[in-house]
Structure 1
Amino acid sequence: ESGKGGGAGDNHRSNMQGILRSGVAMAIMVTAEAFMSSPAMRVQNLRRLRSSGPVKRSSISPRMTLALPRMEPLPPLDGQLPDCPVTIWNTENIDVAAEQQRYKQEGIPESLLEIVADSEMNAQGLAYFENNKEMIMKHLKENGAVIFKNFDLSKTPEGFRRVWETLDMAPCLDPIHNSGLRSFLSSRDGVYEEVNKQSLAKHYIGLHNESTFKKTATFGAFVCFSPASESGGEFFIADGAKIFRDLRTDVLESLYKRGVRISVSNLDLDFLGALGPLKEPAMNFFKGLIGSTVAPKFDMDLDMIYGADGKPQRLQAIEHRQSPINRHPETGKPVWFCNIHNHARYLRNKRPCSVPEVGMTDVYYGDLSQIPHEYVDHINEISEKHIQNLAMQSGDVLLIDNYRMLHGRQTFQGDRLHAVSWFRKGDEAVTQGKPGNLLNSAVNSLIK
């Protein structure tokens, strides 16, 4: 009898593992906004960019381009990018009311510097960026964002890379590179593909910093190779200093004192309710197995928790408690550093959203209690007040300070090809390369 019992137990574990593998595979593939095009489409896009330049919308008059001088090939960055740096938290003893008043008295300069190229600037090529590097980087570090428009050099991944290398920006891996949720458009140039996938074209991506509790890129460089062929797809940004200044003090203090926790994935295991006496052991089995084998692949501090949203058999992967306010690592001034505008389920339910249930996110107080909808509505109102929509065209490049500026993307119709590279400050200790890129490649080989 003990032999039969052991066999039944083995079969039960095997069945649960099979279900787990299916559920986890689905979760990995759809749990975040950073889904990219299939490998075949990425290869096609790269060939098109390298051989014939960017695809232009028929409704846009093509602008005059200059013949660029031939340059020596750049060395490949495949496997050479250092890891994304750790998140710099400085959140203790922030006097919310006093800091808001200081911002109101001192004022906040315009965040975005717009540089529009003319024929003379384009004729200079990389020399323009070399000669103006100090001015460009000074504004980026002090005010938050710089956009280059009408430049011919940055219409391919290699040209884009030459721009940020000339500015002495230090590239790194994506904060969630290990998860496989963001693929390279050009690994040799350190360029990731942005959210261009047709299955997410109707999905609105709200304001967020590119960060997790553990890792945050210092800067980001976003490039448009081809705008949406029909309509929409505008990239947008908002200044976290201005959002901090204008949020109601009582809302900010409530969130700051209680902290927030972000749920990044749901796994509905309703079948566990029918297991009778095996229900509790089965729930613990799934919780432990997912926590030990899947969560580490996302390189995030995640707790696997049942029923946080009131559904007893829903297992959620939830980040550790964090502050929605952070002091900027260079200026020391507090900024809104919270992804609730993007991740709050209450807001997602009111917007265009094509993410399946397994990929739905949510934001709770630090004790996992619900944040009042009135507060979330207010955060949404102030966030959208400060959104700047940027209708980027082929070759346009946006640099942002990722600790200060939040970013997002409008829905779109047609084909779209935007990309991004991430950067560290440049003088911090780094981990050269990052093991585990097999998951990144494997997951993206499955996305069609």
Structure 2
Amino acid sequence: MNTKIKSISNGIVKEIININNISVLELDKEEIINLFKSYGILLFRGFMANAEIFKEFSNSLSTDFINYAGGAFSRRVINGDETLLSVNDFKSEIKLHGEMYYQQNIPLMLWFFCANPPLKDGETTVCDGRHFFNELSSSTKKLFKKNNLKFTVRMSEEDWNKKYQTNDLSKLEEMCQKNNTHLQINADQSILLEYICPAIIPSRCGKYQVFINSLLPTKQLSPKILKFEDDSEIPDEVMSEINEIAEKITTEISWQKGDILMIDNTRILHGRRAFADDQRDIYIRLCSPVFPF
């Protein structure tokens, strides 16, 4: 046996630990796929991976890698590869969310790689969206099933050029159309974007309901841009309930150098604790699985 498999904390994260000094590239792909389908999140630890090994390993299980055009944060491109990005835009907490759930086309799978861990804090937080849905009160489930979320964003020409990585209005219009996002272009080339989506979605197998969205970090960082579809506010007591549930069911991952994390972005929410030092260097890749799930 070359690896040991154990659960972190409450069992959501399956940790695959190298106990026989093998490369992560030697792992049985079918076993990985089966574990991923069952748990939605896998942590590979002790394999002494570097950025190139991380890319090769993620390439072997993934397809349709995307860049971060349209993304909410600034992300540094690593080694000239637009599908390999640093997540350290700032150091404050980011609450639990699904990646890029403020647009229609989301990456179905996420990969994280620890190039360098923080000196302290900066844990990645995760939870299962199925579990989150089950923890919601009946009234909150009913509220979110009845009301979609609406993101309304105003951006200057300079800002949307940077966010969408283009200064071509026709390309912007094409991206918004593909993402089912309403686009209004103003005379000064500033824009207004509106995107409407549910907070609760069916699981890919259709058997479960999943609470996964970008609600918590948006309300945390840019509260004015998010309301219900009818322009009513999300009640404070509902936000308090959601934040309490998030803290209750969160699992924290304390990074070690060379760690690789594999996440189902249709089921698992992720976030980050705040940190203070400049050592933390975590990379992300956005993609789809090469296998059906």
Aligned to 2:77: 184
Correspondence 1:394 to 2:257: yes
Contact 1:140 1:146 (8 Å CA) reproduced: yes
CA distance in 1, matches of 2:154, 2:84: 26
Aligned to 2:12: 111
Q: Aligned ranges for residues 291-306 of structure 1 at < 5 Å? A: 296=173, 299=176, 300=179, 301-303=181-183
Correspondence 1:226 to 2:124: no
Match of 1:148 among 11, 28, 44: 44
Q: Aligned ranges for residues 334-349 of structure 1 at < 5 Å? A: 334-344=209-219, 348=220
How far the C-alpha of 1:182 sits from its partner, in A, is 3.0
Aligned to 1:406: 269
Specify the SS of the correspondent of 2:197. coil
Aligned to 1:128: 26
The residue identity in structure 2 corresponding to 1:253 is K
How far the C-alpha of 1:329 sits from its partner, in A, is 2.1
Match of 1:172 among 58, 65, 70: 65
CA distance in 1, matches of 2:136, 2:123: 25
CA distance in 1, matches of 2:223, 2:214: 14
CA distance in 2, matches of 1:116, 1:303: 47
Match of 2:285 among 412, 416, 421: 421
How far the C-alpha of 1:213 sits from its partner, in A, is 3.0
RMSD, matched Cα: 3.1
Q: Once the two structures are superposed, what CA deviation does each residue of 1:387-417 show, in whole Å capped at 9, x if it has no partner?
A: 1111111101110000000111111111121
Aligned to 2:196: 321
The residue identity in structure 1 corresponding to 2:15 is E
More strand as a share of residues: 2
Aligned to 2:149: 260
Between the two proteins, the alignment pairs up a number of residues equal to 264
The residue identity in structure 2 corresponding to 1:209 is G
CA distance in 1, matches of 2:248, 2:17: 25
Q: Aligned ranges for residues 88-103 of structure 1 at < 5 Å? A: none
TM-score by length of 1: 0.53
More helix as a share of residues: 1
Contact 1:325 1:335 (8 Å CA) reproduced: yes
Q: Once the two structures are superposed, what CA deviation does each residue of 1:229-279 show, in whole Å capped at 9, x if it has no partner?
A: 3x3211111110000011011111112112111234577xxxxxxxxxxxx
Contact 2:12 2:251 (8 Å CA) reproduced: no
Q: Once the two structures are superposed, what CA deviation does each residue of 1:318-352 show, in whole Å capped at 9, x if it has no partner?
A: 532211111122354210122111111xxx2xxxx
CA distance in 2, matches of 1:297, 1:413: 39
Structure 2 unaligned residues grouped into runs of 5+: 1-9, 157-166
The residue identity in structure 1 corresponding to 2:35 is H
The residue identity in structure 2 corresponding to 1:363 is L
Q: Structure 1's 191 and 374: CA in aligned 2 closer, same or farther, altered over 3 A? A: same
Contact 1:328 1:404 (8 Å CA) reproduced: yes
Q: Structure 1's 247 and 304: CA in aligned 2 closer, same or farther, altered over 3 A? A: farther
Contact 1:262 1:361 (8 Å CA) reproduced: no
How far the C-alpha of 1:360 sits from its partner, in A, is 6.0
Q: Structure 1's 317 and 362: CA in aligned 2 closer, same or farther, altered over 3 A? A: same
Which one has a bigger Cα radius of gyration? 1
Structure 1 unaligned residues grouped into runs of 5+: 1-108, 268-289, 306-314, 349-354, 429-448
Aligned to 1:210: 99
TM-score by length of 2: 0.79
Q: Once the two structures are superposed, what CA deviation does each residue of 1:93-120 show, in whole Å capped at 9, x if it has no partner?
A: xxxxxxxxxxxxxxxx9432111222x1
Contact 1:259 1:366 (8 Å CA) reproduced: yes
How far the C-alpha of 1:427 sits from its partner, in A, is 7.0
CA distance in 2, matches of 1:383, 1:304: 35
Contact 2:96 2:217 (8 Å CA) reproduced: yes
How far the C-alpha of 1:178 sits from its partner, in A, is 7.8
The residue identity in structure 2 corresponding to 1:139 is L
CA distance in 2, matches of 1:296, 1:335: 30
The residue identity in structure 2 corresponding to 1:248 is S
Q: Which structure is richer in relative contact order (CA contacts within 8 A, separation 6 or more)? A: 2
Q: Structure 1's 331 and 136: CA in aligned 2 closer, same or farther, altered over 3 A? A: farther
Specify the SS of the correspondent of 1:411. coil
How far the C-alpha of 1:366 sits from its partner, in A, is 1.1
